[in-house]
Amino acid sequence: MSYKSKEQTTMRYKSKESKPKKDIYTEQIYPESYQNRLLYTYDTCNSKPFSISRSSSPIHFHLNFEASPAMAMSMAMKRSASTATRAISSAFSGSILTRDLHASSGKKKIVGVFYKAHEYAKMNPNFVGCVENALGIRNWLESQGHEYIVTDDKEGPDCELEKHIPDAHVIITTPFHPGYITAERIKKAKNLQLLLTAGIGSDHVDLKAAVDARLTVAEVTGSNVVSVAEDELMRILILVRNFLPGYHQVISGDWNVAGIAYRAYDLEGKTVGTVGCGRIGKLLLQRLKPFGCNLLYHDRLKMEPELENQIGASFEEDLDKMLPKCDIVVINTPLTEKTKGMFDKERIAKMKKGVLIVNNARGAIMDTQAVADGCSSGHIGGYSGDVWYPQPAPKDHPWRYMPNQAMTPHISGTTIDAQLRYAAGVKDMLENYFKGEDFPAQNYIVKEGELASQYR
Ligand SMILES: NC(=O)C1=CN([C@@H]2O[C@H](COP(=O)(O)OP(=O)(O)OC[C@H]3O[C@@H](n4cnc5c(N)ncnc54)[C@H](O)[C@@H]3O)[C@@H](O)[C@H]2O)C=CC1
């Protein structure tokens, strides 16, 4: 995608200014989100050609950004809330725990694990999520005397990540190219205090080991939920319309309408169920509503009736009762001890014959072979997603070769918009960490020996 022109950016800025007040639905999805501020940052950086060179990192710009009165007020409110939180927590914290966050001051060693971009790194100055552009925080970190090592080499005993584990204070990694932080690595990491996920989903960390070691684990909650929900909608349409065989026909010089049409349907009137209905699940349901589908959701938590009514979906307490009703099932839970392997042979057998499955949550929520077998037998009519286990997916991963799949590498949550948001979120948390301040509460996955509720 090309960069936005100044006119486009101005339009976006204007439309943001005239945006109607958030409704109850949006309030629930974005409590204290980064969204507005970061979009503002993004617009600011693109619409001020006099002060910014295109090759600079965009996420530095919000330091110079003059807040509007409303934003200044909200920032001041946040500051006073965080001061109050600190006062309360310091009043109650008496224990001496060597690895708790902010246990030591001074220069830090920060290790980042990202995917390599090679020739693509220079093609877009906002492409900050790769090794080469390193979230755009290198100058900022190094100017304060911190050491910043960045690599994509993350597997095996001789990899670059392993070399830096013993003296790293902070490890940042993205779910797109996850640095697996195992219990063994945590044991070796004597200086480690903080594990940051540049994105959402911290299952690449052995969270139990992190709890036991009293590490802090945090992610940029909300940073790419819109990106994933949009991508899920695209995958649903690709499967329902049997799009991919048509695309392949065009490339291979064929023309066979029947070969596509015999199993292409409308989305209207179909029953779609989301398993997990947090931020992404709700955004997906909101996007599906205008298609005239019958919407169901299963989650640990039932929505407030007003929100449920606004979204137009019905709660299904029992997953196994919801599945046989669904033409399309979308997975939107984190990978936890409870959801690992949740979709095995028996559960897949409970689904309708020909069911379409979209999974952008995590590959390991599915039993790999059961999915491949389901696609081969036709019980699963189509499977699409961007998440695999492990990542990168090995060349012989069965999902590469099963019929009726529309798989991609892990991309849905790393759009340029998402990268700008999660890079700024990481920078904010590092800034708080250096100052000994708390992070936004919803970002914590492990804090003071406790695991966030959605991972339990
Ligand atoms: N493919 C990609 O690029 C991305 C993937 N993700 C994945 O999507 C997941 C969900 O993200 P969000 O919606 O932001 O998280 P969220 O925390 O807002 O929502 C997760 C929902 O899952 C529910 N849940 C947890 N365990 C459950 C269980 N055993 N049964 C039923 N429901 C359960 C929770 O109650 C919660 O409502 C992330 O954890 C991550 O794994 C997130 C962002 C990007």
Integer angstrom CA distances of residue 326 from 42, 81, 348: 39, 44, 12
For the annotated binding site for NAD(+), the residues are: 279-280, 299, 334-338, 360, 386, 410-413
- Ligand 1 pocket, 200 CB below 6 A? yes
- Ligand 1 pocket, 299 CB below 6 A? yes
20-48 as b/e: b if 16+ CB within 10 A: eeeeebbebbbeebbbebbbbbbbbbbbe
Closest CA to 167 of 196, 183, 188: 188
What does the block give as tokens for 14?
Answer: 């204007």
d(CA 303, CA 99): 37
Task: Give me the pLDDT at residue 102, please.
Answer: 55
Q: Is 86 a catalytic residue?
A: no
Rounded to the nearest 5 percent, the helix, strand and coil shares of the chain are 45, 15, 45
Q: Which residues are 450's β-sheet partners?
A: 447
**Closest approach atom of ligand 1 to CA 334:** 39
DSSP 8-class letter at 312: T
What's the CA-to-centroid distance between 334 and ligand 1, angstroms?
A: 4
Amino acid in position 145: G
**Closest approach atom of ligand 1 to CA 414:** 3
Query: Is the separation of the CB atoms in 171 and 196 below 8 Å?
Result: yes
Tens-binned pLDDT, residue by residue, of the chain (456 aa):
444 443 343 333 334 444 444 444 454 444 344 444 444 333 323 322 222 222 333 333 232 222 333 333 344 334 333 433 333 333 333 333 445 665 457 899 999 999 999 999 999 999 999 999 999 999 999 999 999 999 999 999 999 999 999 999 999 999 999 999 999 999 999 999 999 999 999 999 999 999 999 999 999 999 999 999 999 999 999 999 999 999 999 999 999 999 999 999 999 999 999 999 999 999 999 999 999 999 999 999 999 999 999 999 999 999 999 999 999 999 999 999 999 999 999 999 999 999 999 999 999 999 999 999 999 999 999 999 999 999 999 999 999 999 999 999 999 999 999 999 999 999 999 999 999 999 999 999 999 999 999 999
Closest CA to 177 of 140, 132, 209: 132
161-191 as b/e: b if 16+ CB within 10 A: bbebbeebbbbbbbbbbbbbbeeebbeebee
- Ligand 1 pocket, 224 CB below 6 A? yes
**Closest approach atom of ligand 1 to CA 281:** 13
Q: Which of 286, 359, 391, 404 is catalytic?
A: 391
d(CA 254, CA 252): 6
For the annotated binding site, the residues are: 200, 224, 279-280, 299, 334-338, 360, 386, 410-413
Q: Which of 28, 46, 224, 310 is catalytic?
A: 224
Full-model pTM: 0.83
What's the CA-to-centroid distance between 281 and ligand 1, angstroms?
A: 8
The interface predicted TM-score (ipTM) is: 0.99
Task: Give me the pLDDT at residue 101, please.
Answer: 60
Q: What is the full DSSP assignment across 180-228?
A: -B-HHHHHH-TT--EEEESSS--TTB-HHHHHHTT-EEEE-TTTTHHHH
d(CA 285, CA 398): 30
- Ligand 1 pocket, 362 CB below 6 A? yes
Closest CA to 351 of 280, 279, 299, 275: 275
What does the block give as tokens for 401?
Answer: 């070769």
